[in-house]
Amino acid sequence: MVDLVDRAIVVGGLEHWGFGKKGYVALDDARLRRSLIPRLKALDPDLDLAKEGYFRMPPEGDVKDAFPGVGVRALEFPRWFVCHGCRRLLRAAEGLENVKGRYRHTCAKNKMASAVPVRFVAACKRGHLVDFPWVAFAHQDREGGTCDRAELYLEEKSLGDVARIFVRCSNCSHQTSMSKAAVLPYRCNGDRPWLGGRAANEPCTEQLKLLVRTASDAYFAQVVSALRLPDPDPDIVRLRVRDKDVWKTVQNVTSEGELAMLTKLVPHVSSALGSFTGGQVLAAIAAERDVGNAGRRTAAPERGVRPARERAARPPGPRAGAGRAVRGLQGAEPSYRPASGRAGPRGRARAARGTRAGELQPVRLGEREHAG
């Protein structure tokens, strides 16, 4: 809500942003979009952001245009006004005249006074913003409810004291103090004035709460920000140097003399780099060479480490003492040890019968035979 000199408005939603024939300027940011989507889904699983054009620069209107089609539109809210002269409380369409952009009320014959937006509105915890229910509130404790022809007045008998502000109906002479508005017995109707019209309302059953329109705690925006750095413009010289045929020719150039010779003898190098100075081209070649060297250093394997395929192809050898039998254990499961040339007499006999060195042979733990 924005308080103007003689009006109060609420800034329109994106549906009321006019971009004209030029269209909008997109400010898409993937990180900010990813951070916002979970919040939207928490409110409603069907809420989502478009894949493109979800963030836009606000349109810039022309103050000199009498009928602007480009800009951010604002809607009048609240819709109730109070007359400075007679304290009459009414809507703009019920008896106010628009004189040179300001609302005027005819208090009596040949007597007019300015009317300003009333400072009390109502809201609910779901964020809906509605006009204060003045007619129902003025007849809140009246037997029989609201009278047939309500004519309301907002009378302030003391400045700054809500208990001394009364809403009076001159037709039935019933009045209600604003101190009773601390707890309102009315339900929200889901009004969203920034979208415009009752068609934008949504179902809501939350309790209404009194809100002072000009109070500092009337509205707190939820701000989500992200640092967006524009991509630097590409270096045209480096783009020319990156060409496959050009780079194959000039990648080893280190002096302006070599570059001048290649430019003179090689047509595609001359057409690509002939319009630039030797210093510019050499700097671009050095920069591209540094990028390539950095990539090769990253991809090179660590020194002293064999490739995984080579390590897997070599079976691990026996550990020290792995073939040693353990004496004194009877009835244990058979263990295995490599049959090598250092085995006992029986082991050498088995090796002579065709057992290859390094094969595993069963040995009963506890037998006398063991590694020699």
As a whole number, mean pLDDT of residues 119-127 equals: 91
As a whole number, mean pLDDT of residues 233-258 equals: 90
CA dihedral angle for residue 262, residue 268, residue 270, residue 273, rounded to 10 degrees: -100
As a whole number, mean pLDDT of residues 292-312 equals: 54
Q: Is the pLDDT of residue 145 over 70?
A: yes
* DSSP sequence for 266-328: -HHHHHHHTTS-HHHHHHHHHHHHHHHHHHHHHHSPPTT---HHHHHHSPPPPPTTTT----S
Spans of all domains in the chain: 236-291
* Alpha helices, H only, 167-234: none
pLDDT value for 365 = 44
Report the percentage of the chain scoring pLDDT > 90.
Answer: 32
Q: Is the pLDDT of residue 31 over 70?
A: yes
pLDDT value for 82 = 93
Q: Is the pLDDT of residue 295 over 60?
A: no
pLDDT value for 66 = 66
Q: Is the pLDDT of residue 72 over 50?
A: yes
Residues 6+ apart with CB under 8 A from 301: 307
pLDDT value for 301 = 52
Q: Is the pLDDT of residue 143 over 50?
A: yes
Per-residue model confidence as pLDDT tens digits over 215-224: 877 777 788 8
Q: Is the pLDDT of residue 370 over 60?
A: no
Q: Is the pLDDT of residue 122 over 90?
A: yes
Q: Is the pLDDT of residue 352 over 50?
A: no
As a whole number, mean pLDDT of residues 230-242 equals: 83
Q: How far apart are CA 202 and CA 251, in angstroms?
A: 66
pLDDT value for 229 = 75
Q: Is the pLDDT of residue 202 over 50?
A: yes
Q: Is the pLDDT of residue 62 over 80?
A: no
As a whole number, mean pLDDT of residues 16-20 equals: 85
For residues 59 and 17, the answer to whether their CB atoms sit within 8 Å is: yes
As a whole number, mean pLDDT of residues 150-176 equals: 87
pLDDT value for 65 = 76
pLDDT value for 7 = 84
As a whole number, mean pLDDT of residues 57-69 equals: 79
DSSP 16: G
**Strand pairing of 152-156 and 80-83?**
unpaired
pLDDT band, very low/low/confident/very high, at 114 (cuts 50, 70, 90): very high
As a whole number, mean pLDDT of residues 181-201 equals: 87
Q: How close are the terminal C-alpha atoms of the chain, in Å?
A: 97
